[in-house]
Amino acid sequence: MKSIFTKFLYAICALLICVSITACTNESRPKSLMEKILKEDKITVGVKFDARPFGFVDENGELQGFDIDLAKKIAKNILGDENKVEFVEVTPSNRIITLTSGKVDMIIATMSITPQRANVVSFSTPYYIAGQALMTPKNSSVQGLTDLKDKKIIVVLGSTGEKSIKHFAPNAIIQGFRTNTEAYNALKNGQGDAMTTDDTILAGFAIGDPNMKILPKRYTQEPYAIAFRQDEESVSLKTNVNHILEHMRNSGELTRLKNKWMNF
């Protein structure tokens, strides 16, 4: 009889311990991404490593660019220190999965707002407007879209340019590459007649290459925005970032960033 009572007492004690452990764990688990960022004292951001002048590795091996400065500004505002950012490399084709799988808190990677993407991620307000353009070797006879018939056009997989060129130049032969650098190298090596993506990114390659030219026409508007997950936990982070962007817009800081990185 005594041992049944003791067992019952043990069971009650075990139950109480479980309940209190669960309560404690729940209490210390961050309820939002903002809370997690504050607790861990760092923000994890997906950026490009090869999209000069937005996200690129410079001659000293340092990550630089418009998007990098923007991430540092956000860290400075939220955590009081621009260095409290961990950068993770993303490409156009893996940036959404990198975000939705939880590897990063946000994406700042020359990412245009599109209705399809807005179905799976949540965008900040835009911070820059680029435009889709064509880049060709200087001696090329390609002057515009109509000259692309039966010619090879180089695109970056997962970019807006990949989608829209199918519409703008339906008779062109599309050659897809995983990254901007691979696409640019392919153009340089004669694997295509032209490359298309945002004018910003093409300019980053053309500036250091006297053998390339960017054609004057722009075919789209590409509003760059920061992407967040669509879950409840990301809402307060997105609200904070939108406030930071609004302040940067009103104070002229976004224009200063534009002048710093786009003065060519």
The footprint of ligand GLU (CB under 6 A) covers: 92, 109-112, 156, 159-161, 197-198, 201, 222
Angle at 130 between CA 127 and CA 131, to 5 degrees: 155
Q: How far is the CB of 220 from ligand GLU (least distance, A)?
A: 9
Please, what's the b/e burial string for 13-48 (b: 16 or more CB within 10 A of its CB; e: otherwise)?
Answer: eeeeeeeeeeeeeeeeeeeebbebbeeeebbbbbbb
**Residue among 44 and 110 whose Cβ is closer to ligand GLU:** 110
Distances (CA, A) of 93 to 134, 242, 250: 20, 25, 33
Torsion, Cα 160 163 169 175, to 10 degrees, reads 90
Q: How far is the CB of 13 from ligand GLU (least distance, A)?
A: 58
Across the strands, what pairs with 155?
176
**Residue among 96 and 172 whose Cβ is closer to ligand GLU:** 96
Q: How far is the CB of 27 from ligand GLU (least distance, A)?
A: 40
**Letter for the amino acid at 71?**
A
**Residue among 69 and 78 whose Cβ is closer to ligand GLU:** 69
**Residue among 21 and 129 whose Cβ is closer to ligand GLU:** 129
**Residue among 88 and 235 whose Cβ is closer to ligand GLU:** 88
Q: How far is the CB of 241 from ligand GLU (least distance, A)?
A: 18
Across the strands, what pairs with 137?
212
Q: How far is the CB of 223 from ligand GLU (least distance, A)?
A: 9
